[in-house]
Amino acid sequence: MKKTLLASLVLVALVNGWSAPTFADQKEKPDSKSSSSSPGADPAPKPEARYGHEIETRGRLGFYPTTLLFALGPAAVDLSTLLHDSSSLSTSKIVAVSFMAFYMGALGLFFDAQIVADVRIDFKLGKLWKILGQECPKLGCEVFSVGSKWNGSIVPKVVFPDGWYIIFDRDPGVVEIRGYPLSNGATQQNLERMQKVAYDLAAKAGLYPPRFLNLTNGGHVSIDFAIFDQDPPPLSKLPRGFHESLRNLQWNSPE
């Protein structure tokens, strides 16, 4: 019984992830001087693409009642049969009911993720808000309230004096972190404070990027579309340039 329980715990942990790597795990740390530079500052003089991001994070999975109910339902039927008439149980029936319990448990998990997760996320977001209020003065940033794009609820926006910001927005089942659009070079320069605000402080509130696939999962990359208007500069070649660039977005190769 203990082994079964332990195996279930491991399975749940594997499916949903159990830890969030911190920046301290990284061997190479970015230059601390560069973190104070402007987010738009980039040594390259030519116009560059800017990249925005949406990282969907979620709280750790707990024991959801619906999951247990769905999973234990078939098992309870099995147990009651065993108690009343043990001779009616066959190996094939036990196997069938076990499979049913597994899939019903997965179904319960689905409902839980949809219904319970939003409540949990709201709770953790409130906790994050409190942590941001405590930590932001030390980091030199301010916390503002903005409306969520999903349900209009109030969500925190962390703004630094140079304009660099991060919004902890809401979407169904997740916290969607949206950041200031940066070029490739500026992204590399702002790694440290992005790690601090978007990952470390969020982890303190129990919000982590999912390690494995969940119902929704993504670290969407947005590319400034204006670069396809500029590439190449002569207007007559615009379609051809975009043709290549669009194919790039669809991950083509010139084989």
DSSP letter (8 states) at residue 82: H
101 vs 195, which CB is nearer to other proteins? 195
225 binds other proteins (CB under 8 A): yes
5 vs 221, which CB is nearer to other proteins? 221
Check if the beta carbon of residue 66 is closer than 8 Å to that of residue 112.
Answer: yes
Q: Report strand pairing: 154-159 vs 165-171.
A: antiparallel
Q: For residue 229, give the 3-state DSSP assignment.
A: helix
199 binds other proteins (CB under 8 A): yes
211 binds other proteins (CB under 8 A): yes
160 binds other proteins (CB under 8 A): no
Place of tokens 């993720």: 113
Number of residues that bind other proteins (CB under 8 A): 65
73 binds other proteins (CB under 8 A): no
User: Contacting other proteins (CB under 8 A), which of 194, 202, 205, 207?
Assistant: 194
Check if the beta carbon of residue 67 is closer than 8 Å to that of residue 105.
Answer: yes
CA distances from 128 to 29, 53, 121, 201, 219 (A): 25, 20, 10, 7, 20
244 binds other proteins (CB under 8 A): yes
Q: Count Cα atoms within 13 angstroms, Cβ side, for 222.
A: 13
26 binds other proteins (CB under 8 A): yes
53 vs 124, which CB is nearer to other proteins? 53
User: Contacting other proteins (CB under 8 A), which of 10, 51, 118, 119?
Assistant: 51
Check if the beta carbon of residue 216 is closer than 8 Å to that of residue 242.
Answer: no
Q: Count Cα atoms within 13 angstroms, Cβ side, for 12.
A: 19
243 binds other proteins (CB under 8 A): yes
User: Contacting other proteins (CB under 8 A), which of 114, 123, 229, 237?
Assistant: 229
> Binding residues for other proteins, per CB under 8 A?
20-23, 25-26, 48-49, 51-53, 55-57, 181-184, 187-188, 191-192, 194-195, 198-199, 209-211, 213, 215-229, 231-232, 238-255
